Amino acid sequence: MDHKYLNKMLSEMDKDLASKGMTRREAMKLAGLTGAGMLMGATNAQASEEETKKAPTSATGKIVIVGGGLAGMSTAKRLTNMLTNPDITVIEPEELSVSYQPGQTLVAGGIWDIDDIKYKRDDYVPDGVKIIKDKVIDFHPQAKELTTVNGTLVKYDYLILATGMHLDFERIKGLEAAGRAMSSGNNSRLLKAMGDDGVTSIYTAEGAEKTWVEMQKYIEKAKNVKKGDKKIQFLFTHPSTPIKCGGAPKKIMYLTNARLKEAGVRDNAELTFYPNGGAMFGVPEYHDAIVGQFEREGFKWHYRHNLVEIDKENKIATFDAKWQEKGPYDPIMRDFEVFSKHEKVRVPYDFIHITPDAVAPREVGESDLGSAKGWVPVNKETLQHIRYPEVFSLGDVAQVPMGNTGGSVRKQYKVLCDNLVAKMQGKKLEAKYAGYTVCPLITSIGTVMLAEFDWTVKPVPSFPLDPTVERWIFWLMKVYALKPMTMIGMLKTGQA
């Protein structure tokens, strides 16, 4: 990504603004932004004055980063800015590891092409950083070393785990052949297992592209629904584990809704959301806003339903539905007993979007660096491993609450770098991650609710606007500004 892309992006944004009778300056003013703030730190010119004045440190040590996605490669770049003589190695086997994952929803909605989100790892390796194009298979934290699939032994003084998460489609009966997948890479097993009859998932790049194909197919079928016929059934799931971008399962639902409206066949379709949890969003204000949106759009939803099986031949999705029932009164506890119940619920579908369970990579989860649940246990503020002080982690694999978005990484990698350098200098780790997470929740083609929050479980808006309101200005940010902020501001410069 270069200035040519930025100029094209700004040109397209100006066209969109002109259609609303507004200039770029007026749009920025509306959002409470000034100057180049619309790009949210997308270029060197937008780095804060404080950042540009920081002098690099002469601290030394061999740093190994496992994972060359957004979290790993942005961290590598930022550390090269902070160290006068950096010794950094990134281990990453996937050629397209830095592809722009937040764009997968836009690909699935037919707004972007898959080529708009594919970026090569080797184009984003910082100068002076060594790259090992291999996968780590064994960790030996007591000896400060690790081993790759090809048998390379790599020693380190400091280790950063940024492996991301795996998509566990094989947990779903009927999709065992899919195995585990990652957002980028060879996911041909998954695509073959899903087939070509309405089973979709935007959680891989190719899967997002296929989702758009399948969506169009079933919108066409909706056009053939006659009065009195059964409506086309569109199902959307949210699983029982933490996932990458908790809003994504709803985003693709909103986009499907928008495309059905565009085709004039919304009344011929029924859209139903099946979340495993008991709320639409963990922040009450955003939950209430989403429920209002669902009611407005005529969506249906059923809480506490977890997808466990897909029967592709008969087009039946089976959910494990859970609820609680009140039992007899307990005179000792002076309260009623409560019993947990569950049953299997079979639901016919025409089109289904599957959000898979998310799990830590086996090589991490089964090592001494993983927790009982597989994720890397770190101090949630400093991002330092709770058992191995020379180890840090960020991104999807780090065991921190509410941290599985690119917006979270944007805050985390700065904290991690500051604390790692402090550790190298023998200083106290003073940088703190406050749990900031952002979810640009697409609610239609043209509107986004920018859900920002942290560990207070309260909205923490960056702009002087009601964060529960869907806005066209945030659509502009999602479609035009966030990718350059990520690809240039974080990966290329390490400053956003």
Unique residue bearing structure tokens 């959307």: 236
Cα–Cα distance, 97 to 100 (Å, whole number):
9
Instruction: List domains and CATH numbers for the chain.
Output: 1-38+436-496 (no CATH), 168-358 (3.50.50.100)
Q: Indicate whether 490 pLDDT > 70.
A: yes
- The Cα-based distances of 273 to 130, 197, 250 in angstroms read 45, 19, 8
Q: For 346-350, what is the mean pLDDT? A: 98
Question: What digits encode the pLDDT tens for the residues 84-139?
Answer: 999 999 999 999 999 999 999 999 999 999 999 999 999 999 999 999 999 999 99
- Which tokens is 367 given? 């090592």
Phi-psi region of 402 (alpha: psi -120 to 50; beta: other; left: phi over 0): left
| Predicted local distance difference test score (pLDDT) of residue 235 | 98
- What is the arithmetic mean of pLDDT over 191-214? 97
Of the candidate ranges 18-22, 122-126, 220-224, the one whose mean pLDDT is the lowest: 18-22
Structure tokens given for 250: 């709803």
Percent of the chain whose predicted confidence (pLDDT) is above 90: 77
* Sheet-wide strand order for 158-161: 130-132, 87-91, 62-66, 158-161, 391-393
Predicted pLDDT of residue 378: 98
CA atoms within 13 A on the CB side of 107: 24
Most confident of 47-51, 333-337, 380-384: 380-384
- Is residue 62 a contact partner of residue 87, using CB atoms and an 8 Å limit? yes
Residue 185's pLDDT band, with cuts at 50, 70 and 90, is confident
Cα(496)–Cα(494) distance, integer angstroms:
6
Residue 416's φ and ψ, nearest 5 degrees, are -60, -45
Give the integer Cα–Cα distance in Å for 238 and 486.
Answer: 26
179 with 189: CB under 8 angstroms?
yes
Q: Give the model confidence (pLDDT) of 139-160 as tens digits.
A: 999 999 999 999 999 999 999 9
Residues β-bridged to residue 57? 83
Query: Looking at 71-75, 124-128, 162-166, 459-463, which range is the least confident one?
Result: 459-463
Q: Which residue has the higher pLDDT, 169 or 54?
A: 169
CA dihedral over 40, 43, 45, 49, signed as positive or negative: positive
Please compute the mean of the pLDDT values over residues 351-363 and round it to a whole number: 96
Mark 237-271 as b/e (b = at least 16 C-beta within 10 Å).
bbbbbbbbbbbbbbbbbbbbbbbbeeeebbebbbb
Separation CA 41–CA 6 (nearest Å): 13
* Phi, then psi, of 195 in degrees rounded to 5: 80, -165
Q: How far apart are CA 142 and CA 260, in angstroms?
A: 56
Name the token pair of 294: 């669902």
Mean pLDDT in residue range 358-384: 96
Least confident of 52-56, 90-94, 440-444: 52-56
With cut-offs at 50, 70 and 90, classify the pLDDT of residue 338: confident
Model confidence at 438, pLDDT cuts 50, 70, 90, reads very high
Q: Examine the pLDDT at 44 and tell me if it is beyond 70.
A: no
Please list, in sequence order, all residues whose beta carbon lies within 8 angstroms of the beta carbon of residue 246, skipping any fewer than 6 positions away: 238, 281, 282, 404, 439
CA dihedral (287, 288, 294, 299) positive or negative:
positive
- How many residues would you count in the chain? 496
What is the pLDDT confidence band of residue 334, given thresholds at 50, 70 and 90? Answer: confident
SS3 326: strand
Nearest to 24 by CA among 480, 465, 449, 467: 480
User: DSSP secondary-structure letter at 406?
Assistant: H
Residue 319 burial by Cβ neighbours in a 10 Å radius (0-12, 13-18, 19+): buried
Give yes or no for residue 262 having a pLDDT over 90: yes
Indicate the pLDDT class of residue 36, thresholds 50, 70 and 90: very low
Amino acid, single-letter form, for residue 480: Y
| Whether pLDDT at 42 is above 50 | no
**Helical segments of 308-427, H only:** 362-365, 406-424
Q: Residue 169 and residue 174: Cα distance in Å, rounded?
A: 9
Task: Report the alpha-carbon distance of residue 171 to residue 357 in Å, rounded.
Answer: 8
| Tokens found for residue 98 | 């830095």
Instruction: Encode burial over 194-216: b for 16+ CB neighbours within 10 A, e otherwise.
Output: beeebbbbbbbbbbbbbbbebbe
Tokens read off for 334? 């002076």
Question: What is the spatial distance between Cα 93 and Cα 136, in angstroms, rounded to a whole number?
Answer: 9
